[in-house]
Amino acid sequence: MGWRRFQPAGEGACAQLLGTGRRVSAVVAANDLLALGCYDELRRHGLACPRDLSVTGFNDMAFADRFDPPLSSVRIPHRLMGEEAARLLLAQIANPRAPKQEIKLQPELVVRGSTAAPARR
């Protein structure tokens, strides 16, 4: 399955970040599976999420609330995106000369247990 490649990629990216020696307080991963890879790499380094490093994913997978800790994630309105795309396509088919439309959909940050205020150092 293609999705299995993301978790090791998240581990590698997090390992590279931790290897820089820079103090970071948070990671925002491009998707939830990359964020899970960050979880694994943090544990390998003896670090805890969110005590040592906050992690946020993107896409808010259906079971993101079941991770340990539950993953904060950016939720995208996929159904609405599909509905709007279909509406625009049908409108374009009905009137090919109609001006192009731009629609902006609002993502939502779902805050769970993987994020916290940075520790004072």
- The 10s digit of each residue's pLDDT in 74-85 is 999 999 999 999
Residue 2 has pLDDT above 60, yes or no: no
Mean predicted confidence (pLDDT) in 18-41 = 93
Please state which architecture CATH assigns to domain 2-76: 3-Layer(aba) Sandwich (3.40)
Paired residues of 56 in beta bridges: 28, 72
Predicted TM-score (pTM) of the model is 0.82
Closest CA to 52 of 24, 71, 15: 24
Burial of 90 (0-12, 13-18, 19+ CB in 10 A): exposed
What's the CA gap between 26 and 118, in Å, rounded? 8
- Token pair in block for residue 66: 């079941």
Residue 52's CB is within 10 A of a number of other CB atoms, namely 15
Tracing tokens 């490093």 back to the chain, one arrives at 53
Residue 68 has pLDDT above 80, yes or no: yes
